[in-house]
Amino acid sequence: MPHVKKGEKPDMTLYLAAPRGFCAGVDRAIQIVERSLELHGAPVYVRHEIVHNRHVVERLERMGAVFVDELDECPEDRPVVFSAHGVPKSVPAEAKRRNMVFLDATCPLVSKVHVEAERHASQGRDILLIGHEGHPEVIGTMGQLPDGQIILIETEDDARNFTPRDADNLALVTQTTLSVDDTAGIIAVLQDRFPAIALPYKEDICYATTNRQAAVKAIAERCDLLLVIGASNSSNSKRLVEVGELAGSDKARLVASAREIDWNDLSGVSKLGLTAGASAPEYLVEQVIAAMRMRFNVTIEEVEVTKEKVIFRLPKSLREPA
């Protein structure tokens, strides 16, 4: 970094990745909670975080949403919303048994994976799911079918060591928020071992995950440091950090907001990359840029790899006037 006189701000080139931030599935899920509050009044219960971002959750809590871990924490006389990550079939079944009003905010691209899994099961195939154990989306997908019918594959080693009941009767689905490159490696191992394995008709990894990773790859080599705005429990945000490091950024960090930035990390940095995970609102990006401007003479270069025009409609019951 060039010598800076005392009192002067050092120069900083900020490469702003695009697309970034909210995807259509996240936007729809948040709108479902907001619209439910408009129609039914507070409180509206939400099973699990609607999306993995505390800023979003806390804002909805201020509006009257109550977030719970399980359905048995919800009273029967108030609406309940299921999170964007999807839920096991047992959850809506229990809500129906209790005559509850419930709304499913599962991302349509996650629902597509659920439908694929059920279709393969109906054709007698065992199903392999590439994903991360314990993630709500994985729990929801595995819960679409009886125990043992979906086998979780997390790594290439898992793919090498898995022993099928019938090597000629396998199908593959994936979590929607994985690293595109890591998943391709696991799929290659499985295809090599099981040439007859049925693959998704279209990519299970969602368009937003793919686009945000492509945007990070487009800026990573130029960056001394890449900042990814997102929650520590957000799969797609954590994958952006990994993708940035592998694509050539000297360092990559996940931060929840401007307040979490370790400014010592920016010592000697003159080229900064900035993006946000699919559940991070744009105002968090704006706050980081404002914090940067307080400390640096910032020049912003937005690097856009594609435009996103996807919109998912709200459930019919929420589209109708109150």
* CA 28 – CA 193 distance, rounded (Å): 39
Active site residue 34: no
Round to whole Å and give the CA distance between 240 and 216.
Answer: 7
One of 137, 203, 242, 302 is an active-site residue; which one? Answer: 137
Q: Are 90 and 143 in contact (CB under 8 A)?
A: yes
The region, left, alpha or beta by phi > 0 then psi within -120 to 50, assigned to residue 41 is left
- First-to-last C-alpha distance (Å) of the chain: 58
Q: Residues for the chain: how many in total?
A: 322
- Cβ contacts of 100 within 8 Å, gap of 6 or more: 71, 74, 76, 79, 80
Distances (CA, A) of 273 to 32, 216, 283: 32, 8, 17
Taking every pair of Cα atoms in the chain, the longest distance, rounded to a whole number of angstroms, is 72
**In the chain, alpha helices (H):** 24-40, 54-63, 90-97, 108-122, 136-142, 156-161, 180-193, 207-220, 235-246, 282-295, 316-319
Q: Which residues pair with 106 in a beta bridge?
A: none
Residue pair 209/221 in contact by the 8 Å Cβ criterion: no
Sign of the alpha-carbon torsion through 155, 112, 205, 241: negative
User: Which residues carry out catalysis?
Assistant: 137
